[in-house]
């Protein structure tokens, strides 16, 4: 597989921007864009920095992290206007909450992927120099800082108490299920010959 496709795969799988991955690889964003489009080859000095990301691509994802898609919404039955209006509102809210839930779980999946890749990325960095040794090259220092921020953000995203953490995702799922349940009850009531 070409470096162009590998770079695109890494960026999509880990949700990385071109500037972020370019910084890690030690190349410019414009060169990364040229490599991704197949107009330039990935420089040799950048290839070892790509390797841990490629290894991390093979790490398994949590299969339970995505809720099942909502069932298709049938046309509302005929009945009292207030009941039909409430049914339509429940269907709308269930769909809206499902989309929010998917987006939040997508962020959690990216955070989990970053944390899983963290040990591989850390291992690709040289050991910290002793206090008496020469200072680290600027490129290594920048990679360490970038990786520390990436892993800190991923850890924060998965904290249960975070505003968009796992508890918030569970609550979105519960609210969506409640809307679907209410819509199903209204459909059954309307289909059973509710008074007009």
- In tens, the pLDDT along 95-146 reads 999 999 999 999 999 999 999 999 999 999 988 766 666 788 899 999 999 9
Q: Are 186 and 86 in contact (CB under 8 A)?
A: yes
Residues 165, 93 share a domain: yes
Q: What is the pTM of this model?
A: 0.82
Q: Which of 101, 87, 117, 108 is nearest to 171 (CA)?
A: 101
Residue ending a domain, among 58, 78, 96, is: 58
What percentage of the chain has pLDDT greater than the value 90? Answer: 77
User: If 0-12 CB within 10 Å is exposed, 13-18 middle and 19+ buried, where does residue 13 land?
Assistant: middle
Q: Are 14 and 58 in contact (CB under 8 A)?
A: no
Residue ending a domain, among 28, 58, 88, is: 58
Structural domains counted in the chain: 2
Residues 160, 125 share a domain: yes
Residues 122, 143 share a domain: yes
Residues 151, 93 share a domain: yes
Residues 17, 84 share a domain: no
Residues 74, 50 share a domain: no
**CA separation for the pair 115, 150 (Å, rounded):** 9
Residue positions counted in the chain: 196
**Residue ranges making up the domain that contains 54:** 1-58
Residues 121, 143 share a domain: yes
Residues 122, 84 share a domain: yes
Task: Note the pLDDT of residue 113.
Answer: 95
Residues 86, 54 share a domain: no
Structure tokens at 71: 């069932």
**CA separation for the pair 183, 75 (Å, rounded):** 12
User: If 0-12 CB within 10 Å is exposed, 13-18 middle and 19+ buried, where does residue 38 land?
Assistant: exposed
Residues 51, 117 share a domain: no
Q: Are 21 and 32 in contact (CB under 8 A)?
A: yes
Structure tokens at 114: 């970053």
Q: pLDDT tens digit string along 81-95?
A: 999 999 999 999 999
Residues 171, 82 share a domain: yes
Residues 115, 47 share a domain: no
Structure tokens at 148: 């520390």
């Amino acid at each position: 597989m070409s470096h162009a496709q590998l770079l695109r795969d890494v960026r999509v799988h880990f949700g990385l921007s071109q500037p972020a991955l370019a910084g890690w690889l030690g190349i410019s964003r414009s060169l990364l864009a040229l490599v991704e489009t197949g107009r330039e080859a990935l420089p040799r000095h950048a290839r070892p920095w790509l390797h841990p990301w490629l290894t991390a691509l093979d790490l398994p994802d949590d299969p339970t992290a995505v809720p099942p898609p909502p069932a298709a919404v049938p046309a509302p039955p005929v009945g009292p206007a207030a009941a039909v209006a409430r049914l339509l509102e429940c269907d709308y809210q269930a769909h809206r909450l499902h989309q929010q839930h998917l987006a939040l779980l997508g962020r959690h999946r990216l955070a989990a992927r970053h944390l899983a890749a963290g040990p591989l990325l850390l291992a690709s960095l040289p050991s910290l120099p002793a206090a008496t040794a020469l200072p680290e090259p600027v490129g290594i220092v920048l990679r360490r800082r970038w990786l520390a921020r990436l892993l800190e953000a991923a850890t924060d995203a998965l904290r249960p108490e975070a505003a968009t953490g796992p508890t918030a995702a569970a609550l979105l799922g519960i609210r969506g299920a409640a809307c679907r349940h209410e819509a199903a009850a209204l459909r059954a009531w309307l289909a059973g010959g509710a008074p007009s």
